């Protein structure tokens, strides 16, 4: 159980969450919003990534300390003679949920797909000039210039099976903003720890454990099922936890932290967030149009 909650905390629970978990085969998980799509390259958005991290894998991931660690890539480094080229050695013996083998062609395809029109992920790869397969399990990523954030951005770039995408006509992501859909909107085929069983948008998504998951020895777990339920109302979400309807909730209201933390059987957990939160100030109208007010609001002064 520890391994799965650790994986969830790294890939999903950035911020504060509450859990009743001790040892469970089924995890009932709730947060405020639902995934906007099952297509791993269509939306750069929290709940969408949260589910995608259970189904798909990226080349790299983060551990609980925030350090970047191997996932589908086991080694990576900039080439000594060209710092604009990063070489990635891929994990061998990895298969997709349908049994197809993972290799460098999938990496080239997936990163190019993430940079295609309709992808909400392409901004994160704007520095990439070309992705090349060196051999079946080695890939070079060349950037237009030095980009120390490349490895960070790759932690949310999920790998898709090129053959599956070709067979199901999903070679490019659908544009959510335009209301487009495709086969990947509701169907998945990843290398991750869980497989999609069923999905009812804004109601429930059910995942089952992948028996052939490459990381079973690294992340041993007895969890066989995840049931994800979006509950928009904070009060309803907390009530569902307190009544035992769900095991984990995210987006915990600050005013409820004391109550839930003092409830027997509940554990409040926190995880660092790798982002910057800023406040936008309206300097055209209202009190904040006055420079003196904005100066008085300076944080840390």
Residues 160 and 203 in one domain: no
Tally of domains within the chain: 2
Residues 287 and 254 in one domain: yes
Average pLDDT over residues 23-49: 92
Residues 74 and 5 in one domain: no
Residues 164 and 257 in one domain: no
Residue 58 resides in a domain: no
CB 5 within 8 A of CB 21: yes
Task: Check pLDDT > 90 for residue 299.
Answer: no
Residues 117 and 199 in one domain: no
Rounded Cα distance between 230 and 129, Å, is 38
Rounded Cα distance between 193 and 216, Å, is 8
**Average pLDDT score over the chain:** 90
Residues 286 and 232 in one domain: yes
User: pTM (2 decimals)?
Assistant: 0.86
For the chain, the C-alpha Rg in angstroms (whole number) is 21
The residue out of 151, 179, 207 marking a domain boundary is 179
Residue 188 resides in a domain: no
At 20 the pLDDT is 56
Residues 104 and 172 in one domain: yes
The residue out of 139, 155, 179 marking a domain boundary is 179
Residues 233 and 295 in one domain: yes
Rounded Cα distance between 162 and 168, Å, is 10
Rounded Cα distance between 28 and 12, Å, is 14
What CATH number does the domain containing 145 carry? 3.90.76.10
At 135 the pLDDT is 98
Residue 218 resides in a domain: yes
Any idea of the CA torsion for 30, 230, 38, 182, to the nearest 10 degrees? Answer: 170
At 10 the pLDDT is 34
Residue 185 resides in a domain: no
At 21 the pLDDT is 55
Express each pLDDT in 195-226 by its tens digit. 999 999 999 999 999 999 999 999 888 899 99
What CATH number does the domain containing 227 carry? 3.40.190.10
Residue 279 — very low, low, confident or very high, per pLDDT cuts 50/70/90? confident
Residues 167 and 228 in one domain: no
More confident call, 275 vs 123? 123
At 3 the pLDDT is 38
Residue 89 resides in a domain: yes
Q: How do beta strands 82-90 and 128-135 pair?
A: unpaired
CB 251 within 8 A of CB 266: no
The residue out of 179, 209, 233 marking a domain boundary is 179
Domain residue limits at 21 = 1-31+193-301
Rounded Cα distance between 202 and 35, Å, is 8
Task: Check pLDDT > 60 for residue 69.
Answer: yes
Residue 278 resides in a domain: yes
Residue 47 resides in a domain: no
**E-only strand ranges, 12-72:** 15-19, 26-31, 60-62, 68-70
Express each pLDDT in 226-243 by its tens digit. 999 999 999 999 999 999
Residues 301 and 201 in one domain: yes
Q: Please list the residues that pair with 209 across neighbouring strands.
A: 194
Residues 236 and 169 in one domain: no
Residue 45 resides in a domain: no
Please give the share of the chain, as a percent, with pLDDT higher than 90. 71
At 234 the pLDDT is 94
String of DSSP letters for 83-137 = EEEEEEEEPSS-B-TTSPBP-HHHHHHHHHHHTSTT-SSGGGGTTEEEEEEEETT
Residues 259 and 230 in one domain: yes
């Amino acid at each position: 159980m520890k391994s799965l909650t650790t994986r969830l905390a790294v890939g999903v629970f950035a911020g504060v969450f509450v859990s009743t978990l001790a040892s469970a085969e089924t995890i009932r998980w709730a947060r405020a919003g639902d995934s906007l799509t099952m297509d791993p390259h269509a939306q750069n958005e929290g709940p969408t990534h949260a589910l995608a991290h259970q189904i798909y894998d990226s080349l790299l991931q983060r551990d609980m300390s925030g350090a970047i660690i191997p996932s589908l890539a086991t080694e990576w480094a900039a080439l000594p003679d060209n710092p604009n080229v990063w070489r990635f050695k891929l994990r061998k013996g990895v298969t997709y949920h349908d049994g197809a083998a993972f290799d460098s062609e999938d990496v080239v395809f997936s990163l190019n797909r993430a940079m295609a029109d309709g992808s909400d992920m392409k901004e994160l790869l704007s520095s990439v000039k070309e992705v090349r397969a060196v051999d079946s399990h080695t890939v070079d990523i060349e950037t237009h210039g030095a980009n120390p954030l490349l490895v960070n951005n790759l932690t949310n770039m999920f790998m898709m099976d090129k053959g599956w995408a070709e067979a199901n006509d999903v070679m490019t992501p659908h544009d959510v903003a335009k209301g487009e859909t495709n086969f990947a909107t509701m169907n998945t085929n990843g290398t991750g720890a869980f497989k999609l069983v069923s999905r009812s948008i804004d109601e429930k998504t059910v995942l089952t454990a992948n028996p052939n998951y490459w990381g079973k020895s690294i992340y041993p777990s007895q969890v066989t099922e995840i049931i994800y339920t979006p509950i928009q109302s904070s009060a309803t979400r907390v009530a569902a936890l307190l009544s035992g309807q769900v095991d984990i909730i995210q987006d915990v209201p600050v005013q409820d932290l004391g109550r839930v933390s003092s409830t027997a059987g509940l554990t409040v957990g926190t995880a660092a967030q790798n982002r910057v939160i800023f406040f936008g100030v309206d300097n055209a109208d209202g009190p904040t149009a006055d420079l003196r007010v904005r100066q008085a609001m300076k944080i840390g002064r």
